[in-house]
Structure 1
Amino acid sequence: MSNLRPLPLIQRVFAALALLVLLAGCATTPPDSVLAVPAPAQKYAAIVVDARTGKQLFEVSSRAQRYPASLTKMMTLYLLFEALESGRVSKQTQIPVSDNAASQPSTKMRFRRGESIDVDSAIRAIVIKSANDVAVAVGEYLGGSEDQFAAMMTSKARQLGMTSTIFRNASGLPDDGQMTTARDMAVLGMALRQRFPQQFHYFSESDFMFRGRLVRGHNDMLGRVRGVDGIKTGYIRASGFNIVTSYNADGRNLIVVVMGADSARQRNDHVEALIQRSLSPTMDGAKTRLMFAEQ
């Protein structure tokens, strides 16, 4: 990623968010709403989809190429869930951790040579901890090598209708050739819920016990907004702070993708504003203006 230079940071616009809430609560004939963008314009992308109907409720640059970061692990998990469904593995299957997997940079579970992890714990480690060593171990186990697994991931992406995604590894660690779009990540988020409802509970978990210690997660949207029940966060320097969020409450099911935020807090504020906007009846048919703030 050395060819990408950091861009000037965009600060949050509190007045714009306050105006959004005011308009959502008070307007009878919805005027233009104002939504603060928490990211450099060249990194930012977002989309909100009604997962029940497939209707697009909001989008900005949703087909522009972006780095997925650890959102990549959603596809690693998709293929692991397929292996569970087919009987190739069970939740008790032990996945060996190779020297290559163990050598991956943090975030990771810090396995030693010759250790292994059961599939159930591996799923939690990937979802909750976003463990790079475990993601690579899963890829090597299912694909024979991480490169072969990445090819399987890209092939599955095409089958799901993710037309602009190329995977190069199982973890989402930096690779100039690993690209996706906000739209494709929304497709993957919906596919995980629809295809594997019996496994989707993993994405709602915020911590788990492993070898006698409590492992805490990164997804602060869980518990922050009623109805949010997953899915996955991601960050590398080139991508900014990414997230795919599932909202499921009161008969509404949304998939919200935000990519390229300047911090986890700004990203989460933006997701919450997008959920509020999408659920508000006064926003139906309203135009949205995006406000970028100068540093």
Structure 2
Amino acid sequence: MKFLSRIFCTLSATLMLVTPAIAFDTAATSAMIVDQTTGTVLLAKDADRPIPPASMSKLMTLNMLFEALRDGRVTMETKFLVSDRAQQIGGSTMFLRSGERVSVENLIQGIIVQSGNDACVTVAENLAGTEEAFAQQMTDRAGELGMNASSFGNATGWPHPLQRMSARDLVFMANRLITDFPQFYPYFSQQSFEWDGVKQDNRNPLLNLGIGADGLKTGHTSEAGYGLVGSAKQGKRRVIFMITGLQSAAERASEAEKLTNWAFRQFVSKELFKQGATISTAEVWLGAEKHVPLTTEHDIASLIPLGVQSDIQLSISYQGPIEAPIAKGDQIATLKVNVAKMNPVEFPLVAASDVEKGGVLTRMIAAAHLLSKDLIGNKLGAAN
């Protein structure tokens, strides 16, 4: 399942993205919205062009910090030293003071809720020594993750010739933070955070609207315009989106709300198969069994536009017969789901059981079968 050039299976930590078939007219200059539950791209507008991400690139800074936490290099209680440079950085700030030591947990809240550039520089300097070295590490890590339209010149999103991300990369990163670091994701829906006597509200305009919004990050510079990487969950469905290039904070809020409502109200999720259900069988060559059952490692659901719920076609493809031995869990086939007004979506199918290689008798029968086919073919060729 292809989330652009990278694999991103929604049902675990990955998301399969395909070209959208139904359009939404957005004022954003660059945008993407994905139904995470099924992996369907609902909208993609200039989604692969590297653009200035402004503070939305702080999601990559947070990813680097979350990876350090996951790997045990730091803990939430680890205290980072604030430098003169961090205190003096411009733009949005957490109001850190040079020489003080601040816990990683407080810096996370300062970045997410207050969009603190000083907090980002502090994280960068304490993890990598300098912000420049940290920016290079961000760029390298983006490449490793398949975010090929991303590069970084700083940890803050401050205008810089190297500071570029695409809408697709930002949605990918949002999905990664949600799925790979669920223990930290609740910070994105935190309404406010107070540091050094200064209380600031979360800049995300969707959090209080009752539409299930729970993240992630706004961004604004004169170069980039107003942008937002957002996510919302209603029932079992979650959507993730990115918009940018809006002319004002009010237009950003309005566009984000309209896009979220459209994604939830114009599509429904239809469950097709439960995890572990036998969907079909594949023919086996030289095996102890002639067929192997095909199943899915996850529940399979498809996103359906309103009004076409009954128009669903399924097809299974594999290169076979599949030679034994086959191990349970081997991916050996693909399920394609075709829904009217939508582009096809593919799901991997795996072997539901082991199939051992057949014995001598099995191989003799197979050899005889091949020999008989060759003889028949030769006779037909001679007759022609």
Normalising to structure 1: TM-score of the pair?
0.80
Structure-2 residue corresponding to 1:35 = 25
Deviation at 1:53, TM superposition (A): 2.7
Q: Are residues 1:103 and 2:88 paired?
A: yes
- Cα distance in 2, alignment partners of residues 65 and 76 from structure 1: 18
The corresponding residue for 1:200 is 185
| Alpha-carbon distance in 2 for matches of 1:261, 1:212 | 32
Q: Is the 8 A contact 2:57 2:165 kept in 1?
A: no
Greater RCO between the two (CA within 8 Å, min separation 6)? 1
SS in 1 for 2:161: coil
> Which is richer in helix?
1
Q: Which residue of 2 aligns with 1:51?
A: 36
**Distance change (3 Å), C-alpha of 1:98 and 1:36:** same
Mean Cα deviation higher: 99-108 or 186-195: 99-108
Unmatched segments (≥5 aa) in structure 2: 1-21, 268-303, 306-339, 343-384
CA 1:260–1:89: 2 relative to 1, 3 Å: same
Is 1:217 matched up with 2:202? yes
Are 2:233 and 1:248 equivalent residues in the alignment? yes
Q: Which moved more, 1:79-88 or 1:239-248?
A: 79-88
Checking the alignment, whether the CA contact within 8 Å between 1:150 and 1:168 is kept in structure 2 is: yes
**What secondary structure sits across from 1:129 in the alignment?**
coil
The 3 A distance-change label for structure 1 pair 36 and 76 is: closer
C-alpha distance in 1 between matches for 2:194 and 2:160: 31
Paired residue type of 1:222:
L
Deviations 1:137-192 (A, max 9, x none): 10011111111111111122122221100011000011022111111100000000
**Pairing of 1:71-90 with structure 2 (within 5 A):** 71-90=56-75
Pairs within 5 Å for 1:166-245: 166-245=151-230
Letter in 2 for 1:177: L
TM-score (norm 2): 0.62
> Is the contact between residue 221 and residue 268 of structure 1 (CA under 8 Å) also seen in structure 2?
yes
Indicate the structure (1 or 2) with the bigger Cα radius of gyration.
Answer: 2
- SS of 1:35's equivalent in the other structure is coil
Distance in 2, Cα, partners of 1:133 & 1:239: 20
8 A contact 1:33–1:286 mirrored in 2 = no
Higher strand share: 2
Matched length: 251
Residue identity over aligned pairs, in percent, reads 35
Structure 1 residues without counterparts, runs of 5 or longer: 1-31, 288-295
